Amino acid sequence: MNTPANLKYTKSDEWFDAATGKVGVTDFAQNQLSDIVFLEILVSVGDSVSAGDQIASVESVKAAAEVVSPVSGKVVAINEALVGGPEGINSDPFGAAWVIQVEGGDAAGLMDAKAYEADCAAKGH
């Protein structure tokens, strides 16, 4: 499992990059879902989101899952390329496969990489 140390994580398997404001789905989550075939982003540029709000829906050959915002803030960008190529989440979850970018997000209360790895291990996966 890849868990970059510069990111912050949620118990619901999203990541947040405080330096850029980008939000995405973790490597652990994409691995559990397997082959992702569909992504719908449910917010628009200019929307305000609160931590815990659903921002997207992903579907794989195995399951469907909600993607929630790890932070509160204003949506300043959406990764439109990901909508047309959701399989990018499987191949590059921490790079090109970011979902949205949020301005003003505060990473306080999110887990660091070590805590997230421990949380994943506790889930028994």
- Per-residue pLDDT tens over the stretch 4-42: 999 999 999 999 999 999 999 999 999 999 999 999 999
Residue at 123 is within a domain: no
Residue at 46 is within a domain: yes
Residue at 97 is within a domain: yes
Per-residue pLDDT tens digits for 47-60: 999 999 999 999 99
pTM: 0.94
Residue at 2 is within a domain: no
Residue at 34 is within a domain: yes
Show the domain range for 59.
8-110
Residue at 25 is within a domain: yes
Number of domains in the chain: 1
Q: What is each CA distance from 3 to 7, 18, 44, 77, 117, in whole angstroms?
A: 8, 15, 28, 24, 7
Residue keyed to tokens 């989550």: 29
Residues 6 or more apart from 57 whose CB is under 8 A from it? 38, 39, 40, 42, 64, 65, 66, 67
Residues 6 or more apart from 33 whose CB is under 8 A from it? 58, 60, 62, 63, 65
